[in-house]
Chains A and B, each alone.
Chain A
């Protein structure tokens, strides 16, 4: 076996990488790693029926990290010469307050991920661009065909092709190729001087053919158009506490905001999370079981390995209502004495590793979704959302509906304008009284922000009933 194939693309040899790793792994450093990344992003976008913008961005560099106790030293460079590596290594190890002088690190075992969750061929930019232009033109036509009240269609297709190599002081040298793409459609509808918008999108670690399967791209166009038209007739949302039924799929953003972030190990190690000290305790009703799973083929939140070279896995966070586990990276797992779950992620070589979610979802229950809606006399049925946010420390979270309906007398009636739902993370899932048998994962549009770093994630949810949550509308 020769050199690790991805390493060659950075113009480096294993010897040079090992030497830099040895230089950073001085006596008092517990762990060190080097993360090489090369990323090519491409985007084509359309508006006013014209595909008139194309962009391409190339970045590459290395992040060098040393941890000693709770301390992290970190340096990054967009130059990959031996000298730049040494400089970064010297900066990173500054944290350890150790005498300089290289320390021997174990010769790394060259590895590759044991599976490939996303085998995607890379396409030449000329061919790819022509196909993408055709895709966007078809979307424009489909959305306008849906309803003449659609006045503008904006669509974009983005791809990212990332090659990474991780070399660690615990003996791993491992590479991965991580493709990612996303198609996003927004429609503006207009009627009698009133305007509304609707959005839909999806993607994953998939090839271009994904968007044509079953004319997925046209479905996205129709869904965006449908939401915009629907919102033209939406009435003001109610305000106050009421039962809320969440539809399957993307509304799983509830889990991401309400509990997912609160279960990330860094906040719990520092005891600044509303979930600190709740392991083994009840945080949800017994119909709730929630997992984080980075191993689903082709999903937006999936990875063969995390950004510390650990294979991703499936972690049970909540089992029948009881808090079972945290999401960890190596640093926090070591400091807390709990297992590494393969959730150490970073936006790029320019950012530090943090424990982050992958695909977070609730397992299916036994209730019939129609029955769940029939059980509500007056409430809200929310099927699509914009974004959400959480305050980890007091546990308060919000997420904003972009498509929602009133439930009156057990029936879904009028569409209502977007409203923000607000609740408390450790409490909200104790109010889940029914879980549908219809688990759905989202279409692949989620991006999670933490400490200024964005990473792609997935969520999923069956239809659920929450007995009470505050709905932030304007009507009594």
Chain B
């Protein structure tokens, strides 16, 4: 039997041991990330438990540098034999690739010193029955409010907690714990006249159990969003103002986030290459990436390379002020890391957002809709029709047709198209309704004009 290297404070020691081993195997620099966690999820459908999942998992990622050559490996097998083999193999792999002049760890004096407690962990432990009950309640609420809700894809409750340990050969060793609790409902509604079905869902996710919305509130919202889609039809092809609801405006922020990633930029694969300090949007548009929001879903005390996280102003009063960078992409662009190294175990670091958001304006969603004589209110987008190199944008959409400042009827099977550059420049209003339900968030946004293709 293999000797199992055990946890219980042992992961820090394991990290140090492996870093030392990597040095002995010829690595000039190395870093290591160890993630462990446990997850529970329950899905209830039509009042009965449909699926129950429970697991513990762990994973370890090692990156070594042999001079200017580097390789990354990962494993879920923590036996001593397996880990010894991994260290040796990582060094072998590194020697097989070419030298890359900018490769390497961050500078030693840049490593995160202070480690603020960002309140990311909630020790609350719910038992199986409690979690089943919450899933049942969220689904029941979605099913019981409107008789046109006839079926369900289910009610879900998920909880997870975990720990991340990161160490490198500069002597950096950091760790933090985090947790998350989420619930969702996905009801199906049937049109009593045509028999046509619509599905939608609603959810909440928080690091603290106590912050989670009530299952009744989440279920009700899911039902409201689903039933209002009944009777959806196509509209004629035309150019109109488009209002993105907060969730869909969040997807636009996701597109912006991808375009300011250092990796897309140095490869020339972003439509924002060379646009730093240039105007991107009107002056009421300000976008932040803030890794230090207390309790934030994207917050963490240090990034995937051990650099301190921070608040970066990406767009300041309409002007593109900063890219999001890790050490490597920063060096490629001749800039410093912004503390946005994202490290999924087993991959090379890449750039990822922490809490990335459009700063709210002052108008409610309703006030924004009121300003549209004839246009589209988008509540759902599907497909991948975005070309990040050119910014060309064309996606399937559904939502509501706006007539005279009011939502007139639901629409579907249409597309909206334009170019992201024009869309950001065409942001006409920013709503006040910013709520974080993930790492990327936005309030409602109105864009002056886009092409809607329908019948």
Contact = CB atoms under 8 A, between A and B. Distances in A.
Contact of A197 (B86, B128, B198, B389): B389
A245 B145 CA distance: 45
A472 B418 CA distance: 10
A420 B188 contact: no
Contacts of B269: 152, 154, 186, 188, 197
Interface in B402-445: 412-418
Given A94-B52, A95-B49, A195 B389 contact: yes
Contacts of A133: 96-98
Given A70-B48, A126-B96, A196-B389, A470 B394 contact: no
A386 interface: yes
A187 B202 CA distance: 39
A46 to B, nearest CB: 9
B122 interface: no
Contact of A126 (B56, B92, B99, B395): B92
A47 B97 CA distance: 12
Contacts of A78: 56-59, 76-77
Task: Specify which of B128, B451, B453 lies most central, judged by the most chain A CB atoms within 10 Å of its CB.
Answer: B453
A74 B74 contact: no
A195 B390 contact: yes
A339 interface: no
Contacts of A52: 69-70, 97-100, 103
B76 A59 contact: yes
Contact of A57 (B82, B346, B413): B346
Interface in A386-400: 386-394, 396-400
Contacts of B382: 389-391, 396-398
B89 A396 contact: no
Interface in B322-366: 346-348
A471 B74 CA distance: 44
Interface stretch (A235-243, A313-321, A432-440): A235-243
Interface string B104-144: 00000000000000000000000010000000000000000
Interface in B164-201: 188, 196-199
Given A58-B77, A388-B384, A396-B413, A473 B56 contact: no
A272 interface: yes
Nearest to A471: B453
A334 to B, nearest CB: 15
Interface string A338-367: 000000000000101000000000000000
A271 interface: yes
Contact of B97 (A51, A125, A195, A196): A51
B453 A125 contact: no
A58 B97 contact: no
Given A70-B45, A197-B389, A352-B53, A473 B394 contact: yes
Nearest to A188: B268
Given A125-B93, A418-B392, A55 B383 contact: no
A184 B348 CA distance: 18
B383 to A, nearest CB: 4
Contacts of A48: 267
B298 to A, nearest CB: 19
Contacts of B52: 71-74, 91, 94-95
Given A196-B389, A473-B394, A55 B151 contact: no
A137 to B, nearest CB: 9
B151 A272 contact: yes
Task: Specify which of A53, A77, A152 lies most central, judged by the most chain B CB atoms within 10 Å of its CB.
Answer: A53
A275 to B, nearest CB: 11
Interface string B60-87: 0000000001111111110000100010
B416 A272 contact: no
A350 B57 contact: yes
Interface residues of A, number: 80
Given A70-B48, A270-B151, A400-B384, A55 B347 contact: yes
B237 interface: yes
B48 A61 contact: no
Contacts of A399: 383
Nearest to A399: B383
B394 A237 contact: yes
Contacts of A195: 268, 273, 389-390
B346 A77 contact: no
A274 B191 CA distance: 13
B55 A420 contact: no
A420 B415 contact: yes
B454 interface: yes
B453 A472 contact: yes
Contacts of A424: 413
Task: Specify which of A237, A272, A471, A476 lies most central, judged by the most chain B CB atoms within 10 Å of its CB.
Answer: A272
Contact of A239 (B89, B396, B417): B417
A405 interface: no
B384 A74 contact: no
Contacts, number: 257
Contact of B188 (A72, A73, A241, A272): A272
A50 B98 contact: yes
B237 A396 contact: no
Could you tell me the dominant secondary structure of chain A's interface residues?
strand
B385 A400 contact: yes
Contact of B196 (A94, A388, A394): A394
B237 A72 contact: no
A57 B384 contact: no
Interface in B226-264: 229, 232, 234, 237
A311 to B, nearest CB: 26
A389 B383 contact: yes
A97 to B, nearest CB: 9
A423 interface: yes
B454 A470 contact: yes
B58 A393 contact: no
A288 to B, nearest CB: 21
A376 B272 CA distance: 38
B367 interface: no
Contact of A393 (B128, B188, B348): B188
A418 B384 CA distance: 11
A129 B74 CA distance: 17
A419 B99 CA distance: 40
B151 to A, nearest CB: 6
Nearest to B55: A76
A470 B415 contact: yes
A91 B42 CA distance: 12
Nearest to A387: B384
B16 interface: no
A472 B415 contact: yes
B398 interface: yes
B3 interface: no
A422 B413 contact: yes
A266 B58 CA distance: 31
Nearest to B58: A78
A418 B385 contact: yes
A473 B413 CA distance: 14
A95 B51 CA distance: 8
A241 B268 contact: no
19 contacts: A41-B346, A51-B98, A59-B59, A75-B55, A77-B55, A78-B57, A126-B96, A239-B451, A271-B151, A389-B382, A389-B396, A394-B196, A394-B412, A396-B398, A397-B382, A398-B415, A420-B383, A422-B453, A473-B453
Interface of B: 45, 48-59, 69-77, 82, 86, 89-90, 92-94, 96-100, 103, 128, 151, 153, 188, 196-199, 229, 232, 234, 237, 267-269, 273, 346-348, 380, 382-385, 387, 389-390, 392, 394-396, 398, 412-418, 451-455
Task: List the 10 closest A-B pairs by CB distance, nearest first.
Answer: A472-B415, A398-B396, A398-B383, A393-B199, A400-B385, A420-B385, A239-B453, A387-B384, A57-B346, A129-B96
Given A393-B188, A394-B198, 16 more contacts: A48-B267, A56-B71, A58-B73, A71-B50, A74-B53, A76-B57, A125-B92, A129-B97, A130-B96, A152-B268, A239-B237, A270-B151, A388-B383, A417-B392, A470-B413, A474-B417
